[in-house]
Amino acid sequence: MPKTGATAKPVTTASDVRRWLGWLALVVAFSIACVFLSNWQFGRRQEAVGAMTRLDSNYNSAPVALELLEKPWGFHPANEWRQVTLTGHYLPLNALLVRNRPLNGASGFLEVVPFQLTNGLIVLVERGWISSDANYSAPKNFGVPSGKQQTVVARIREQEPAFGGTTPAGQVASINVAKVAEKAQIKDRVYQHLYVRMASESKPHGLLTPLGKPNLDEGNHLSYALQWILFALMAVVALFWAIRKERQARAGIVKTKRKDADSAFEDAQLD
């Protein structure tokens, strides 16, 4: 008859140990993967929090000349969303539209126009959003600015990734400096890795809709990170539980539930 309680000594064989070590190796590998994924989610959360902090601190900062913050060959993440002033003139003949930019449920485009500073350097200016035509094609008239001297206040943005494929004449798939410069034929003396989003112009022109302050949040990265840690702990607990149950079964140990024990006692009293 099976014994009740943990009175028998389980018999452990060499094959049992080898099997358990195999389980342990799997649990260790799984736990390492969980820790890696958890750290990755913590890193993603830190990036999101950093982006939120930069947005809050830089968005309404006092404008300074772009040349004082950024050099032509680089982009500093700490300057993202900083307000800068540009003095010079637009190059309206080199204006482009950025495809597939919906706004509030409506399809549309972004207008990007190169701006030449008084020192001769060129920076890309995203001036705003314009709705597409009825057939989702690019609008025929989208109000490019004049080429007269003026001052523009804008916010620094990091360039977007480059997308493959071809685009129609006068259009690009993203605000990637190399792609835009190639399409607009302004490869020389262009600020690299960044563009600016127009906030105001001394000579405003066009019927564009300016893009407002984005709503950023940290997402679910923290909860995902904690879940991966919990998965690793559950794997360790499951390993020890499985070994314990196997040892009990090998020893013929059967634990009687309290409810079953009470029922057996009552039956014995009745007998």
Same domain, yes or no: 66 and 165 = yes
Contacts of 133 (CB under 8 A, 6+ apart): 139, 140
* CA neighbours closer than 13 Å in the CB half-sphere of residue 13: 6
Same domain, yes or no: 49 and 88 = no
* CA distances for 150 relative to 43, 101, 209, 239, angstroms: 42, 28, 20, 71
Nearest Cα neighbor of 94 from 11, 160, 182 is: 182
Reading the block at residue 75, the tokens are 């982009």
pLDDT under 70: residue ranges of the chain: 1-11, 253-271
Same domain, yes or no: 19 and 112 = no
Domain boundary among the residues 157, 175, 201 is at 201
Give the burial string for 139-169 (b: 16+ CB within 10 Å, else e): eeebebbeeeebebebbbbebbeeeeeebee
Same domain, yes or no: 65 and 180 = yes
CA dihedral of residues 128, 133, 139, 141 (deg, nearest 10): -100
Q: What pLDDT is recorded for position 113?
A: 96
Strands 122-131 and 83-90: unpaired
Q: What pLDDT is recorded for position 14?
A: 79
209 occurs within a structural domain: no
Q: What pLDDT is recorded for position 269?
A: 54
268 occurs within a structural domain: no
Same domain, yes or no: 71 and 47 = no
Query: Percentage of the chain surpassing pLDDT 70?
Result: 89
Same domain, yes or no: 137 and 184 = yes
Same domain, yes or no: 51 and 75 = no
Domain boundary among the residues 170, 201, 232 is at 201
Per the structure, the complete domain to which residue 195 belongs is given by 60-201
Same domain, yes or no: 52 and 64 = no
Count of structural domains within the chain: 2
Q: What pLDDT is recorded for position 39?
A: 93
Same domain, yes or no: 12 and 135 = no
User: What angle is formed at CA 155 by the lines to CA 64 and CA 196, rounded to 5 degrees?
Assistant: 110
Same domain, yes or no: 85 and 146 = yes
Same domain, yes or no: 73 and 193 = yes
Q: What pLDDT is recorded for position 207?
A: 76
Q: Where are the beta strands (DSSP E) in 32-172?
A: 64-65, 83-90, 96-98, 108-117, 122-131, 150-158, 171-172
Q: What pLDDT is recorded for position 134?
A: 79
